[in-house]
Amino acid sequence: MIAIDCTGKTALVCGSTQGIGRAIAEALAEAGASVILAARNEHALQEALNVLSKNNSTQQHNYLVADFSRLEHVQESVQHFLNKNTEPIHILVNNTGGPAPGAIHQASSDAFIQAFSQHLLCNQFLVQSLLSGMKEAGYGRILNIISTSVKQPIPNLGVSNTIRGAVSSWAKTLSFELAQFGITVNNLLPGYINTSRLDSLVQSTSKSKEIAEDAVVAQMLQTIPAGRFGEARELAMLAAFLASPLAGYINGTSIAVDGGRTSAL
Ligand SMILES: NC(=O)c1ccc[n+]([C@@H]2O[C@H](COP(=O)([O-])OP(=O)(O)OC[C@H]3O[C@@H](n4cnc5c(N)ncnc54)[C@H](OP(=O)(O)O)[C@@H]3O)[C@@H](O)[C@H]2O)c1
């Protein structure tokens, strides 16, 4: 039987108190990794930490509080954590709350700058902070949770579409540079995944189009060949595989988990 085994590896999973990030944290813990959770809400972090599984004696889970909308806060918090915890972190899952929806022609400069900082500069800082540990270990996995919009922009997500493209190009470039150290960089592209982010997207579309939320959901479902929304755990299974030694030759890719919704090749 083939098993996804991340025993002996440590993962920093950002945006992990709920939704996709939390499902990934839980999957990595099930696969035997030690997991460091990160998000803004300390109470939710403690609650998520308490339910992470432990299957082997090397597993020690932890958390750090960081607000990715403030780069300086992430820098301070992560640096403080790394000063106290010097073991290498082998797996980095870059993930945070998505930019607010809206038409791109109405988006402000501030919205672009804010999203660039939260989604790209925070990722860059984290990679630079963890790189020496990954190099020393000869093992690194950088996973970025982006969106299918990197293949096919999604209407009414103007700022998000733009920033996701930047993150995807950043990741591809990084993958060229880091492969020689045993480090891979890959993007996971969620389609419509059942989380609170999806709920808020339904609500905002319902408001902007002035139609009932049920009707918005029905329209969304029509675009998915699988005929349903995905579950965060379905994406987390891919993340656990990509984070494991099994996926060492998969690098610089963007993989959609969207029930076949993206029509671009
Ligand atoms: N769900 C989908 O259908 C879908 C589709 C395409 C792309 N995505 C993208 O995938 C990512 C995750 O989505 P999701 O559906 O899992 O969202 P979610 O359920 O809203 O969860 C977001 C997570 O990120 C954390 N977070 C939010 N803002 C943060 C900040 N400023 N600093 C630190 N942590 C922050 C939240 O925790 P705290 O509140 O405790 O900070 C939470 O743990 C987002 O970028 C989203 O746009 C989602």
Instruction: Give distance in angstroms: CA of 1 to centre of ligand 1.
Output: 34
The answer on pLDDT for 142 being more than 90 is yes
Are 69 and 124 contacting, i.e. CB atoms less than 8 angstroms apart?
no
Domains of the chain in start order, with CATH, are 10-194+230-257 (3.40.50.720)
For residue 219, give both structure tokens. 């329209």
For residue 153, give both structure tokens. 């922009």
Instruction: Give distance in angstroms: CA of 39 to centre of ligand 1.
Output: 9
- What pLDDT is recorded for position 156? 87
* Ligand 1: nearest atom to the Cα of 99: 47
Length, in residues, of the chain:
265
Find the residues whose C-beta lies inside 6 A of ligand 1. 15-21, 39-41, 44, 66-69, 95-98, 145, 147, 190, 192-193, 195-198
Summarised one tens digit per residue, pLDDT across range 157-173 is 999 999 999 999 999 99
The structure's pTM equals 0.98
Summarised one tens digit per residue, pLDDT across range 34-71 is 999 999 999 999 999 999 999 999 999 999 999 999 99
- What pLDDT is recorded for position 114? 98
Summarised one tens digit per residue, pLDDT across range 75-131 is 999 999 999 999 999 999 999 999 998 999 999 999 999 999 999 999 999 999 999
Read out DSSP for 177-199? HHGGGTEEEEEEEE-SBSSHHHH
Q: How many CB atoms lie within 10 A of CB 51?
A: 11
- What pLDDT is recorded for position 15? 98
Distance of CA 232 to the CA centre of its chain: 11
Q: How confident is the model at residue 31 (pLDDT cuts 50, 70, 90)?
A: very high
Are 123 and 166 contacting, i.e. CB atoms less than 8 angstroms apart?
no
Instruction: Give distance in angstroms: CA of 136 to centre of ligand 1.
Output: 31
Instruction: Give distance in angstroms: CA of 180 to centre of ligand 1.
Output: 31
Q: CA 1, 91, 96, 120: dihedral to nearest 10 degrees?
A: -130
Share of the chain above pLDDT 90, in %: 95
- What pLDDT is recorded for position 190? 98
Quote the CA–CA distance of 152 and 166 in Å, as a whole number: 14
CA-closest candidate to residue 127, choices 83, 86, 74: 74
**Looking at ligand 1, which residue's alpha carbon is closest to its atom 41?**
40
**Looking at ligand 1, which residue's alpha carbon is closest to its atom 46?**
98
- What pLDDT is recorded for position 204? 86
Beta bridge partners of residue 13, listed in sequence order: 37, 93
Quote the CA–CA distance of 159 and 109 in Å, as a whole number: 10
